[in-house]
Structure 1
Amino acid sequence: MFRYVKLEYPEIAGQGLVYMDVWPIGYPIIAVYNPNMMAQFIQENSLPKYWAMPQVEFKYFTGGEDLVNLDGPEWKKARSMFNPGFSAKNLLSLVPDMMEEVLVFRERLRKAAASAEVIKLTNYTTDLTVDIVGRAVLGTRLQTQVGPNRLMQLIKSQLKLIYFELDLPKQLNPLLPLKNWVYNRMIKKELAPYILNAAQNYEKIVGPKTIVTLALKEYVNEVQNHNARGNIPSEFVERVVKHIKIFMFAGHDTTATVLAYIYYMLSKHPTEAAKLRAEHDEVLGPDPTAAAGLIRADPNLLNKLPFTMAVLKETLRLFPPVGGSIRQSPPGHFLTHPETGVRYPTHGFMLHSSASTVLRDADYWPDPDDFVPDRFMTRDESDPWHPVKNAWRPFEMGPRNCIGQELVFTEVRLILALTVREFDVEEAYPADAPSWMGLKGYQVANTEAISTAHPKSGLPVKVKARK
């Protein structure tokens, strides 16, 4: 929407931002289109999240008491608690566990190829990323790829109660608080055993530690009496549950979408697919079936796949699952255009960093609608293809950038390393299906369930086994 506002009103948007009042559909908003102006309220001065996020949108899901919505000292404390688990080093140590789930995914693709049936690719990638998040965050096998999982069914059901725009049936439903209370109670019952086990048995855990285990380290170190850990305050468990819910929601959905789009883009661009496979042959050897053993023995091999990372970054540029961040401006706050010096007042508006617009803006990206992974292989900053500073922001930037981006980098490289040399996908949309921006698999919103963008119709494809 914001991209097309910019295309429709180029002279206004050329000032770097657009003021809009979309009442009663939403709140007064400033869409910011200049990446250096975004930096003023996202990076240089990280403003708090817009008030409606914790108080309205996520009010019942987490009470706004999660890593996405918290602000100030509470946010800093939570971020520092979870940073160790999301570090690149720790995530690489979890690769062998993640690999078990990827091998289940690979087998599902083999069966789909053998049957020649049309599958919805996002169903497969979503099941996989749920299982990977389960291993990384909780250290358990949710086995969503095998059958329905109660925890994720509860979380997805509660997500359907969230509204991000005008939705009178939900907003006026007198049973909404009760339904959320029931879901919160059931989800806490599912998650509490993992939290209590991690806190009570921290020293006994051998080998790689999950994100929750490392997050609880601070608490565990404070409780020196081992017996006292059996009486962990319910409020503490409640707080950790809220963080886990956000991780499970954001951690699986966005990654599943990006992964599906990578397969889709590779099917549309055989030259780039060949380069990707050549990199895997060079780093992991010519036998695709041997890759799992090599990566299990040395997960650092994933860091030697720069073109694979470039493919991921280019796909995220074209299809960011989230359009940008929204922030609350204090009284007297202004944004300054870096070239003209004009100052724009922002108080009273939702500030939106329109990342999805910048990521396809010809002012910052040559041939912005083309799939060109090599732009992320360019190291010469004077090269016009080199990404412009502050312009690549699918995870946003600054101190509040997405804590899970290293998890995305790790799991996507692992999944591609174990699958792209064995399979191709072929889109299976109806012949008369509409195209938009050159693709039948364009991004759509599913406000019934979630706020992020998804491929149209779940991206129907046929999986083909490669010889």
Structure 2
Amino acid sequence: MAISNVIDGLVSLPTGQLVALMLFLGPALYLLKIVYNLTLHPLRSFPGPILARGTFWPMIKHTTDGTAQHWITALHQKYGNVVRISPGELSFAGGGAFKDIYGYRKGGQPAFVKSPKFYSVPAGDEFAHVPDIIRATPEDHSRIRRIFSNAFSDRALKQQEPLFLTYVDLLVQRLRNVAAAAKAGKADARVNMVTMYNFTTFDIMGDLTFGEPLNLLRDNEYHPWVANMFASFRFGAYLMAMRYVPYVEPLLVRCMPASIDEKRRQHGRFSSERVDRRLAKTDARPDIWGLVLAENKDGTGPTLPLKEMYTNANLFMIAGTETTATLLSGLTYHLLRNPPALARLVAEIRTAFPVEADISIERLQHLKYLHACIEEGLRMFPPVSNGLPRIVPVGGAAVDGVWVPGGAAVMVTHLAAYRNEGNFRNAGVFAPERWLSGEEGGGGAYAHDMRAALQPFSLGPRVCLGKNMAYHEIRIILSKVLWNFDLELCPESENWADQKIFIMWDKGPLWCRAIPVR
């Protein structure tokens, strides 16, 4: 009754007085909220910049200008392994936090659930309520994962090896064509390896997912659908930032220009139409859908609703392409900036395979230095650099030895963890030998590195389904390129790794010269 009397009194005020009161109350209430965040909030004892502990504005600012992960990494270097990056969020950089946040929970302890703020799709999306393997509830995730597990098994990957080789060999031919044209004085000798790796991974995944390539390597240009996908990353970062402000996201989506909204719808239609065409084929190809359908050929196995096929196909085309190309680009850059490491890797590959035809998925798994270089590439230039937020269960939980109240959002920021000297000695140095043992590993110089602090594919029940495929694809692409070419970094790309991050790295051209090896 008292509240209704207050409301009645406010409504009866003259308009001028009511507006003046609201102009006063708004800032006053916001100031009180800041004071609460700094002095009474359950996370008040965790360190961090005062503005970040009190407001969301630093996170909004750094997310929209592409510096959030670099900012968080710098905060960890100043404040330690746990930092309060916004009123309700904690970032961890210690190696033990991965297992506590993302790993399996023992003894029936409740899991850390995914943060809706980070994982929900934009309001109004026609597939907003259709689960995919990333956004699904734990129950739906288990069901979907069981259906796709056969398509991503080692047995399936060996079946798909000829498909991989088709496009990797096409990449090699494309690089040879550039070198030949340059030698004849008909073209620039430089080649943008970011573009070449993107063309290759998208062609491979397009064929695996839809049964048809995007023909990027053939046409030597981006398909409009792929170009739109890259453009959407920056909009996604803006959308993520706006979720820190209540009620702004629906307004942002409603004010979205019609051209951007149409591109978003075209993106969904592109995947849906190609899934429909693939399902209409009757050949027994060992691509993703062929293997999924083979599991249910007698009609008694698990099935996937059509709309879930659409959403997961769309996801595979993002998660299985840009991330792999990013790692290949970053690893190539760091190898070219470290000639001794490059020379050692090239020698290992060319010695192991006197004949190019001997290069295979199975045999590449035995190259120790190649594996060490890939691990170090994942550490120095992680395709997923940001943290993946989880919500601490009711009652709280320990994370890397620190008790965190229930309801808080927690994450391990990959870039910060991989640059943490407490996890990796000389963390800013590209040193593949840290992943080797004994004398091969630098005489024990890196013996105390916390290798468990490198989790680029996450871990636990949500570990990346395509992890094995990514390793196989990275090995065979990089090995084929280095077997056939001596690569040189062009001067204009000396500082290539100094990039902003809008969900994904905002990669500029990685200009190299690819000199064919006789």
**Alignment TM-score, normalising by the size of structure 2:** 0.73
**Which residue pairs with 1:419 in the alignment?**
481
Letter in 2 for 1:364: N
- Does structure 2 conserve the Cα–Cα contact (< 8 Å) formed by 1:61 and 1:158? no
Cα offset, 1:428, TM superposition: 3.2
Find the aligned partners of 1:172 and 1:460 in 2 and give their Cα distance: 40
1:3–1:332: structure 2 CA closer, same or farther, 3 Å change rule?
Answer: farther
3-state secondary structure, aligned to 1:399: helix
Aligned residues: percent identity? 19
Letter in 1 for 2:313: I
Find the aligned partners of 1:177 and 1:416 in 2 and give their Cα distance: 37
- Does structure 1 conserve the Cα–Cα contact (< 8 Å) formed by 2:95 and 2:452? yes
Find the aligned partners of 2:195 and 2:309 in 1 and give their Cα distance: 28
Find the aligned partners of 1:107 and 1:154 in 2 and give their Cα distance: 27
Cα offset, 1:301, TM superposition: 1.5
Find the aligned partners of 1:312 and 1:96 in 2 and give their Cα distance: 22
- Does structure 1 conserve the Cα–Cα contact (< 8 Å) formed by 2:98 and 2:453? no
Structure 1: tracts of 5 or more residues without a match = 23-27, 225-231, 434-438
Say whether residues 1:274 and 2:329 are aligned partners. no
Q: 147-156 or 61-70: which moved more?
A: 147-156
- Does structure 1 conserve the Cα–Cα contact (< 8 Å) formed by 2:390 and 2:410? yes
Say whether residues 1:353 and 2:425 are aligned partners. no
Find the aligned partners of 1:118 and 1:99 in 2 and give their Cα distance: 24
Of structures 1 and 2, the larger Rg is shown by 2
Higher helix share: 2
Letter in 2 for 1:135: D
Of 255, 279, 282, the residue aligned with 1:173 is 255
**Which residue pairs with 1:99 in the alignment?**
165
Cα offset, 1:260, TM superposition: 1.5
3-state secondary structure, aligned to 1:425: strand
Find the aligned partners of 2:123 and 2:371 in 1 and give their Cα distance: 32
Of 434, 449, 459, the residue aligned with 2:510 is 459
1:328–1:258: structure 2 CA closer, same or farther, 3 Å change rule?
Answer: same
- Does structure 1 conserve the Cα–Cα contact (< 8 Å) formed by 2:167 and 2:203? yes
- Does structure 1 conserve the Cα–Cα contact (< 8 Å) formed by 2:101 and 2:399? no
Find the aligned partners of 2:510 and 2:289 in 1 and give their Cα distance: 33
**Which residue pairs with 1:52 in the alignment?**
117
Find the aligned partners of 2:350 and 2:388 in 1 and give their Cα distance: 39
Structure 2: tracts of 5 or more residues without a match = 1-67, 106-110, 183-187, 243-247
Find the aligned partners of 2:297 and 2:332 in 1 and give their Cα distance: 42
- Does structure 2 conserve the Cα–Cα contact (< 8 Å) formed by 1:125 and 1:260? yes
**Which residue pairs with 1:127 in the alignment?**
199
Find the aligned partners of 1:59 and 1:122 in 2 and give their Cα distance: 33
- Does structure 2 conserve the Cα–Cα contact (< 8 Å) formed by 1:54 and 1:65? no
Find the aligned partners of 1:389 and 1:346 in 2 and give their Cα distance: 29
Of 302, 310, 332, the residue aligned with 2:372 is 310
Of 284, 290, 293, the residue aligned with 1:205 is 284
Cα offset, 1:71, TM superposition: 2.0
- Does structure 2 conserve the Cα–Cα contact (< 8 Å) formed by 1:359 and 1:392? yes
Of 77, 100, 103, the residue aligned with 1:43 is 103
Cα offset, 1:157, TM superposition: 6.5
Find the aligned partners of 2:91 and 2:506 in 1 and give their Cα distance: 22
**Which residue pairs with 2:393 in the alignment?**
330
3-state secondary structure, aligned to 1:362: coil
**Which residue pairs with 1:294 in the alignment?**
358
**Which residue pairs with 2:471 in the alignment?**
409
Find the aligned partners of 1:150 and 1:459 in 2 and give their Cα distance: 21
- Does structure 2 conserve the Cα–Cα contact (< 8 Å) formed by 1:51 and 1:328? no
**Which residue pairs with 2:446 in the alignment?**
385
Say whether residues 1:190 and 2:274 are aligned partners. yes
Q: 97-106 or 257-266: which moved more?
A: 257-266
| Deviations 1:80-134 (CA, angstroms, capped at 9, x unpaired) | 1111111223212211211110111111112223324333321111001101112
Cα offset, 1:141, TM superposition: 2.9
**Which residue pairs with 1:117 in the alignment?**
189
- Does structure 2 conserve the Cα–Cα contact (< 8 Å) formed by 1:334 and 1:343? yes
Cα offset, 1:218, TM superposition: 4.1
| Deviations 1:191-227 (CA, angstroms, capped at 9, x unpaired) | 2111343xxx4xx626xx2222222344443369xxx
1:404–1:278: structure 2 CA closer, same or farther, 3 Å change rule?
Answer: same
